[in-house]
Structure 1
Amino acid sequence: MIVVVMGVSGCGKSTVGRKIAERLGCAFRDGDEFHSEANRAKMHAGIPLNDDDRKPWLESIRAYMDEKTSNGQSLVVACSALKQRYRDVLRGPAGNAEFVYLKGDFDLLQGRLAARKDHFFNPNLLRSQFDALEEPTDAVVVDIALPPEAIVDEAVAQLQARAAHRPAA
Structure 2
Amino acid sequence: MSVILSTMELITYISNTIVKGCGFEACCLMQDFQNLPLQDMTVVGEKGVNLSGGQKVRISLARAVYADNDLYLLDDPLSAVDSRVAQMLFNNVIKGLLRKKGVLLITHQLNYATQCDDIVVLNNEGKIALQGSLKEVDLNEINLDKYIQTESDQKRIQLIN
**TM-score interval, normalised by the smaller of the two chains:** 0.3 to 0.5
Return the index of the structure with the highest Cα Rg: 2
Calculate the TM-score normalised by the size of structure 2: 0.32
> Which fold has the larger relative contact order, with Cα–Cα distance below 8 Å and residues 6 or more apart in sequence?
1
**Higher helix fraction: Structure 1 or Structure 2?**
1
Calculate the TM-score normalised by the size of structure 1: 0.31
